[in-house]
Chains A and B, each alone.
Chain A
C-alpha cells in the first residue's frame, strides 16, 4: 500500500473506475491528501461503521438496515467538493491500516465493511449493479433454460423454504462454486448440487458481497504483513501515531488492559452478582453455583467478564476450582480446566490478554445443548425470560415492557430497561456487560474511588 500524503502528484482516481459509485478497493489510491483529511475521513467512515454495528446488534431487519446505511452514508461521507468517491476510497484504506493489526480487529472490520458494501450494492439500481459486474469483470453467466427446467423443482423448494415467490422461466439463476457464496450456503438460502450453488438474481448482492469479502479478507492479512514489515517503521512519526490512536479511539472502553481497576474480593462476589451483574452474567454465575459446572462457552463468557470486573487470576482460579472441584474433584480441575483460566489471563499459550465479550458478541453467539451462555433477552424463551426477570424482583408491568422490546429484537434496550428498573436510575444504554457492571457500581457505591484514594495516601504516609 502506498500513501502519498500531501505529495505533489495528483493522479486520476486510482483503483476504482469512474463508472460506478461502488468499489472493490483493489488498489490503494495514489492521491493527494492532507494529514487532517486523512484522519477526518477515517473518523467519518468509522461513524458509519459504528452506526451499522449498533444496528446489527439490535437485530435490525435487512430493509431497515439498508435505509440506515444510506442515511449514515449521506450524513458522514458526502463532501462539499464532490470528491465523494475519493473520500470513500481514502477512508477505506486508512481504516484498513487501523484494523489490520490483530485478528479481532480484522474480523470486526471485515464484517462491518462487508455489510456496508452489501447494503450499498443492494440499494443500487439494477442497471448500476450490472455495470458494476461488467466493470469488475465478474464472469457470472445465467444458466440455460433447459438447465433451469431440470432442477426447477429444487429451486422452487428453496424459494418456498425462504417464503419467497417461486421462480419461473423468466427468473435468472447464476451457477457458481459454493465457496463463493458462504453466507448463502450457511443459511441454506440456495440450492447446492455437486459443489455448485444456484444463486437467483435476487441474491446477486450476496454473490458480489461474497467476492468483496474474500478479497478484503486476503487484503487485510497482506496489509498487516506490510504494516509489520515496512509501514509502521517508515511512518513511525507520521501516520503510525494517527493509525494507532484511531483504533484505540474507536474500540470503546477496553475492559482488559491499561486502566487501573478496582479489585473485587472473592467473598463479595455473590452480593455483586445479585446487585450489579447483567442478567446474562447473573444467570451464568448462579447456574455455576447451582450445578458446579459450565460448558466452554459459559466459562469463557463469565470468566472474561469476571476478569474485567477485577477478579485477579489467583482469585479466579480459586473461584472456579471451588465450584468445579465439588463436581469433579480439585485434581481433575487443575489438570483440565486451570490451563484455560490462565490462558484467558494471558499466562499460557499465545499469551494474549483476552478481552471480555461485548453485547454484540454475546448476542451473536449460538448457545447449544447444555449451554447457558448467550444473551438471555435473545436466547431465552419468553417464558424463561419472564421467570428470570421475576427472580430479580421486577414488577409485572416493567417485565411486560422489557418483553415488548425483546419481541422487537431490541435486546440491548431491554437490558437497559432492566438496569433502570433495578437501579432506579437512567442509563445511556448498555453495550457491554462490564459497562453495565461499572455503571451499577457507580450508582450503588459511589464513594469507592475516594476511599481507595484515601487508603493509598495513608499507606504512603505510613511508610
Chain B
C-alpha cells in the first residue's frame, strides 16, 4: 500500500493475462511450421531489415510530438520524451518505460533491440525512463500519466458466438465485414456525437482493428471520462450464462444507435452477414437466433416451417427465412412493440461493435503501435481509411516478407530521386500506399491543428502573464 504509482498495475497485470495479447509468441521457434508457414512470412532477419530500411520513424515521431517538435516558443520540447514505449523482445521479454527524445533515438533503439512488438503507452508528467527518481514518497511530483489518445480495440475473438466461418485467431472475408461495421459505427459516432476529428484506424495485423483518437480534447480525458465514452458504445450485455444479449432501452432507440442501425447495421446484416454466416441455414444456428425471441408461439411456427423445408442448399436460404421471421414478428397479430423490438435486438446482437472496454478505460493501457509487424502473420499493422473501409482486405495486407522482396526487386520511382534513402526504399514497396494514407488522411490535418493549438496556448499564456504584470 501507499505506492505512488497510481494505476500502474493496470498494465502490468493485463499484459500477460489478456487473451488478446497472446499474439506474440516467437514464431521462429515453433516446431510445427505448418501453421501459416510462419517462416515464409516472418523471420527475425526480415524484421531487422524492415526496421533498418522501411519503418517510418520520422512519421511516428511527428505524430506523437503533436507539434511540439517545432521551433515555436510555445512548444513543449520534453513532450515526446515523456511518452512511454514498450518493447516485447524475443522470448517474451517485456521492456517497459522506454522513451525517446527524437526520431533518431527511436530508430537506433528499435534497430538495436529489434522488438517483436512495439506498444505505445501514455505521456507521463516526467520522462518514464527516469520515473524511479520521482518515486520516492517524499516527492511532491508523483509519476503519473497525464495524456493519452483515446483508444479502442475491437477483436474478432469477441464475436466467436456469432460467426461460423472461423474461430479464435482466424479471420476470413466472410467475417471481416463485422470489423467494417465496427469501424463505420465507431468512426461516425466519434466524429458526429463526440466531435472528434483526428482519428486513426489501424489493422492489428491479425484479427482486429485499433482506433486512435488523437484530438487534444481526447488526449486529456480522465479515466472516468474515457470509461463513459467506452460505455456509450456498450450495447451487448450477454455473457455465457444469459441469452438476453442486447438491451436497447425504452420505446425508441437513442439517436446514436438509431443512426448506426439504419445506416450500417441493418443493411450489413441483411445484405452480407445473414448469408455470409448462414445464420438461418442450420438448426443449431437458427436455434440460437430464435432463443432471442420471447414468444414461444412464433418460435415454434418458425421452427416448424424451417424444419420441414429442405432448402438448405440454396445460398440465400438465410435471407428468405429472415424475411419470413420478420413478417411473423411484425405482422398485425403480434403488434406489441416488444416483438418488433426483437428484430432490432437480433440485428444489434449480430452486428453492433464489441469493443474491448478495458483497453479504452485507462490512460496507461498499452496499445500496439501502427506499422508494427505481427509476428504470427507477418502482416504490417497498416492504417485503414475509414471512409473506404468497405474495400479494406486484411488478407491483402503486405507481409514483411512481401516488402523485403519488393525492396530487393524494386526500382525507386523517378519522382523520388531527390528524396533520402529511406523514402526511396519505401517507395519501392507497397508500404508506400499505407504511409501516404497515414500522411494525407491523418498526419497532415493533425499537425495543422496542433500548430494552431500551440499558437493559441502560447498567446493565451502570454496574455495571462501580461495581465498579471499589469496588476
Contact = CB atoms under 8 A, between A and B. Distances in A.
A185 interface: yes
B113 interface: no
Nearest to B237: A366
A217 B224 contact: yes
Contacts of A194: 192-195
Interface string B142-171: 100000000000000011110000000000
Q: Summarize B's interface: helix, strand, loop or mixed.
A: loop
Given A157-B258, A160-B252, A336-B17, A182 B228 contact: yes
Nearest to B194: A195
Contacts of B252: 157, 160-161
Contact of A336 (B16, B142, B159): B16
Contacts of B331: none
A139 interface: no
A337 to B, nearest CB: 6
Interface in B4-22: 4-9, 12-14, 16-19, 22
Contacts of B225: 179, 182, 185
In this complex, the member of B13, B139, B140, B248 whose beta carbon has the largest number of chain A beta carbons within 10 angstroms is B13
Contacts of B237: 366, 368
A101 B6 CA distance: 11
B242 interface: yes
A340 B238 contact: no
Interface in B216-255: 217, 221-222, 224-225, 227-229, 231-232, 234, 236-244, 248-255
Contact of B13 (A332, A340, A366): A340
A366 to B, nearest CB: 7
B2 interface: yes
A157 B160 contact: no
A102 B9 CA distance: 13
B13 A349 contact: yes
A343 B14 CA distance: 10
Interface in A179-213: 179, 182-183, 185-188, 191-196, 213
Interface size class of B (residues with CB under 8 A): 35 or more
A161 B254 contact: yes
B466 interface: no
Given A191-B255, A221-B6, A367 B232 contact: no
Contacts of A101: 1-2
A276 to B, nearest CB: 22
A185 B16 contact: no
A250 to B, nearest CB: 16
A186 B232 contact: yes
A343 B12 contact: yes
Given A296-B14, A335-B92, A102 B140 contact: no
B249 A162 contact: yes
A75 interface: no
Nearest to A384: B241
Given A161-B250, A182-B227, A369 B256 contact: no
Nearest to B191: A194
Nearest to A287: B240
Nearest to A349: B12
A370 B160 CA distance: 9
B195 A163 contact: no
B194 A371 contact: no
A446 B225 CA distance: 49
Contacts of B239: 367-372, 374, 379
Given A161-B249, A163-B250, A350-B9, A185 B228 contact: yes
A352 B196 CA distance: 37
A404 B334 CA distance: 29
A304 B448 CA distance: 49
Contacts of B13: 340, 343-344, 349
Interface in A312-335: 332, 335
A135 interface: no
A195 B229 CA distance: 11
Nearest to A164: B250
A96 interface: no
A179 B196 CA distance: 13
B354 interface: yes
A295 interface: yes
Interface string A370-385: 1110101001110110
Contact of B236 (A228, A368, A376): A368
B317 to A, nearest CB: 26
Given A195-B195, A299-B17, A384-B242, A348 B256 contact: no
A188 B232 contact: yes
Contact of B255 (A157, A217, A299, A369): A157
Contacts of A157: 252-255, 258
A295 B17 CA distance: 9
Nearest to B141: A225
A381 B241 contact: yes
Contacts of A182: 224-225, 227-228
A339 interface: yes
A158 interface: yes
A173 interface: no
A76 B242 CA distance: 41
Given A182-B227, A336-B22, A343-B12, A228 B251 contact: no
Contacts of B194: 178, 192, 194-195
A188 B247 CA distance: 12
Nearest to B195: A195
B241 A372 contact: yes
A186 B234 CA distance: 8
Contacts of A384: 241-242
B162 to A, nearest CB: 9
A381 B16 CA distance: 32
A229 interface: yes
Nearest to A350: B9
Interface string B109-145: 0000000000000000000000000000111101000
A379 B241 contact: yes
A381 B245 CA distance: 11
B185 interface: no
Interface string A225-249: 1001100000000000000000000
Q: Enumerate the 3 nearest inter-chain pairs by beta-carbon distance, A residue then B residue, closest first.
A: A195-B195, A349-B12, A182-B228
Given A164-B250, A295-B19, 18 more contacts: A101-B2, A157-B252, A161-B254, A179-B221, A179-B225, A182-B225, A185-B231, A192-B193, A194-B195, A195-B217, A217-B222, A339-B17, A349-B13, A352-B1, A367-B239, A368-B158, A372-B239, A381-B244
23 contacts: A101-B2, A157-B254, A160-B252, A186-B228, A188-B249, A188-B254, A192-B194, A192-B232, A214-B222, A214-B224, A225-B142, A296-B19, A335-B25, A336-B92, A337-B16, A343-B9, A349-B9, A349-B12, A352-B1, A366-B237, A368-B158, A369-B159, A381-B243
